[in-house]
């Protein structure tokens, strides 16, 4: 799966969880830019991604995510393992 | 040892820096790390050496647990759980033994911080994130003196790669000057601003029997600003010292009083603690729930915030403080979900006042002390109007007000400080924004130098940082 495909997939999750269907999601988008993206929606998003890709993030990994691009890279890394 | 002391600034820091970079210069890299670790231990035990044994035990035990977790032994989970019990057990023993009728021991300096940092390390090791490391690397990570006693709480993966990087082994003038700049900001916050607010907050909390409306607000606002300038000043000094060793520590404050909601406040105040709580407490609680829905995440939010409150100590005041912030977060999330919003200035006013009121509870020795200040703040113990200038305000007596004495110069200074602080909350750049824009110039050097000298003269009354108690 390419990074573009992952980005496309998680954009759907982000729109759904944040209830913001018009949000423009790029690799640079970060939680700080989006009002609806807080600790609560973040955990829902993480959980949706984990279920969909059948992966599990380590707690320490969650803290290193600075933006959507980081998230895409981490999913890619997990899928390759 | 305090950052704001002559011994630290004129003796310890120069010796620590010169020794570290000299050893590195002659390619004695391992010796350089030992130097840094030993200097940090000296810094830690300067006041009282009796805290040192517990620190060394905690460091050594956690290193070996991390080491065996990394080796992937058979009973990995049991060892990990033992590690958690060891750390949390020590923390609870010193913090809460008084609660269950056991003797209350003095809290060893920095225990709460170095324990959290190592718990994070154990979880990362258990989950396979941390790589195998030497004892000295681990010792530097835990003991690195700028962040040892009160944070910012750092991760191994964040701190150590910076210390181990070849480019960072040598003294860098650019890093040293930005470090000195940020350290000076912190010193001004602590020595000049926080100490002034402290002198206005203390009498109201510790001496007065009752407080009238104005005195109560003076007391509570003074403490709120004292706490902010004390802790963020400490953090600025830590970040500045980090730069001097070519290490960028994590940001811990981001203009918290600009927040327009309690959710936002906790992303701007003591940020490394919030991140720790969110990553290592909130997330596991949510994951342990049968279903991730709004109700369950709210329960987890409340529990996590409550734990963050009582992490500060055993008193009822911290229980109430944690519970109030937990409730406020839940209410905030509920309103957000229903897309309800106040106008911007109302949101700010509500958030600021909520934080201010909860800091009264945070500061008070016990709940009755807190109630004394809170009663005063809603005018239950009278209103005393000061005589302003030469005009008489005697007519106010007819309306049930009491007329007090004239304002002293100190009162005018206080009013000016309040105005300046409220202005700076909204308009001024914070230390991290200033750090990003930092460009050395003669003008800036003179300003920093002048501020530094002022602080040096103000340091004759050396006082501790508030967060040394937690």
Q: Which of B155, B243, B270, B312 is catalytic?
A: B312
Contact B336 A63 (CB under 8 A): no
How far apart CA A14 and CA A4 sit, in angstroms, is 15
How far apart CA B363 and CA B270 sit, in angstroms, is 16
pTM: 0.91
List CB contacts of B101: < 8 A, sequence separation 6 or more: none
Q: What is the pLDDT of residue B391?
A: 57
**Closest residue by Cα to residue B337 from A61, A16, A36:** A36
CATH number, residue A64: 1.10.1200.10
**Which structural domain, as residue segments, surrounds residue A45?**
3-80
- Per the CB < 8 A criterion, the answer to whether B379 and B247 are in contact is no
Report yes or no: A2 at the B interface, CB cutoff 8 Å. Answer: no
CA dihedral B132, B137, B139, B144 (to 10 degrees): -130
Option in B123, B286, B292 nearest A60 (CB): B123
How far apart CA B189 and CA B200 sit, in angstroms, is 16
List CB contacts of B2: < 8 A, sequence separation 6 or more: B8, B462, B464, B465
For chain B, the residue count is 470
Report yes or no: A81 at the B interface, CB cutoff 8 Å. Answer: no
Is B312 in the active site?
yes
Three-class SS of B59-72: HHHHHHHHHHHHHC
Q: What is the pLDDT of residue B389?
A: 54
**Closest residue by Cα to residue B144 from B14, B44, B4:** B44
Contact B292 A43 (CB under 8 A): yes
Q: pLDDT in tens for each of the 81 residues of chain A?
A: 888 999 999 999 999 998 888 999 999 999 888 888 888 889 999 999 999 999 999 999 988 888 999 999 999 999 987
Give how many domains chain A has, as a whole number: 1
Option in B123, B155, B292 nearest A44 (CB): B292
The DSSP symbol for B365 reads S
ipTM value for the complex: 0.90
Report yes or no: A21 at the B interface, CB cutoff 8 Å. Answer: no
Farthest-apart Cα atoms in chain A, separation:
34
Q: What is the pLDDT of residue B72?
A: 72
Report yes or no: A59 at the B interface, CB cutoff 8 Å. Answer: yes
- Per the CB < 8 A criterion, the answer to whether A38 and A31 are in contact is yes
Q: What is the pLDDT of residue B395?
A: 67
**Mean pLDDT in consecutive groups of 10 residues from the start of chain B, 470 residues:** 90 97 95 97 91 96 93 86 96 84 80 95 90 91 95 91 92 94 93 91 90 92 95 96 96 95 95 94 93 92 94 89 96 90 92 97 92 92 73 65 74 90 90 90 90 84 77
| CA-based nearest distance A8→chain B, Å | 24
């Amino acid at each position: 799966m390419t990074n573009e495909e992952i980005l496309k997939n998680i954009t759907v999750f982000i729109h759904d969880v944040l209830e913001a269907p018009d949000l423009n999601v790029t690799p640079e988008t970060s939680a700080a830019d989006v009002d609806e993206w807080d600790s609560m929606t973040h955990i829902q998003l993480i959980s949706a991604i984990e279920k969909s890709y059948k992966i599990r993030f380590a707690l320490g990994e969650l803290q290193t995510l600075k933006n959507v691009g980081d998230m895409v890279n981490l999913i890619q890394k997990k899928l390759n393992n | 040892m305090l950052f704001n002391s002559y011994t630290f600034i004129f003796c310890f820091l120069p010796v620590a820096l010169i020794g570290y970079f000299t050893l590195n210069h002659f390619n004695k890299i391992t010796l350089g790390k030992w130097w840094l670790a030993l200097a940090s231990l000296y810094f830690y035990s300067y006041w009282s050496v009796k805290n040192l044994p517990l620190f060394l035990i905690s460091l050594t035990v956690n290193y070996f647990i991390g080491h065996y977790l990394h080796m992937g032994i058979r009973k990995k989970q049991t060892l990990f759980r033992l590690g958690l019990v060891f750390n949390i057990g020590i923390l609870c023993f010193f913090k809460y033994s008084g609660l269950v009728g056991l003797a209350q021991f003095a809290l060893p300096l920095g225990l709460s911080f170095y324990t959290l940092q190592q718990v994070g390390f154990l979880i990362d090791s258990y989950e396979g994130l941390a790589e195998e490391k030497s004892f000295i690397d681990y010792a530097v990570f835990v003991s690195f003196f700028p962040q040892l006693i009160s944070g910012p709480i750092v991760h191994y993966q964040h701190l150590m790669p910076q210390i181990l990087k070849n480019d960072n082994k040598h003294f860098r003038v650019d890093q040293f000057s930005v470090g000195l700049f940020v350290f000076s900001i912190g010193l001004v916050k602590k020595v000049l601003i926080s100490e002034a607010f402290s002198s206005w907050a203390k009498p109201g909390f510790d001496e007065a029997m009752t407080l009238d409306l104005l005195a109560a607000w003076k007391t509570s606002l003074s403490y709120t600003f004292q706490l902010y300038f004390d802790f963020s000043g400490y953090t600025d000094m830590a970040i500045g010292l980090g730069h001097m060793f070519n290490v960028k520590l994590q940001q811990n404050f981001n203009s918290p009083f600009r927040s327009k909601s309690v959710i936002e406040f906790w992303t701007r105040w003591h940020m490394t603690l919030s991140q720790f709580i969110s990553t290592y407490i909130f997330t596991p609680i949510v994951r342990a729930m049968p279903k991730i829905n709004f109700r369950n995440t709210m329960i987890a939010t409340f529990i996590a915030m409550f734990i963050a409150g009582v992490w500060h100590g055993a008193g009822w005041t911290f229980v109430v403080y944690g519970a109030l912030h937990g409730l406020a977060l839940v209410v905030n999330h509920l309103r957000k979900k229903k897309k309800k919003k106040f106008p911007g200035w109302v949101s700010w006013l509500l958030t600021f006042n909520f934080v201010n009121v909860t800091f009264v509870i945070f500061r008070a020795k016990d709940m009755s002390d807190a109630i004394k200040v809170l009663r005063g703040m809603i005018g239950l113990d009278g209103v005393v109007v000061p005589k302003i200038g030469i005009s008489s305000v005697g007519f106010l007596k007819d309306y049930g007000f009491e007329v007090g004495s004239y304002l002293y110069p100190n009162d005018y200074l206080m009013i000016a400080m309040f105005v300046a602080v409220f202005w700076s909350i909204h308009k001024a750049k914070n230390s991290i924004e200033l750090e990003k824009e930092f460009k050395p110039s003669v003008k800036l050097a003179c300003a920093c130098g002048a501020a530094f000298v002022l602080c040096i003269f103000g340091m004759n009354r050396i006082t501790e940082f508030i967060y040394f108690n937690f």
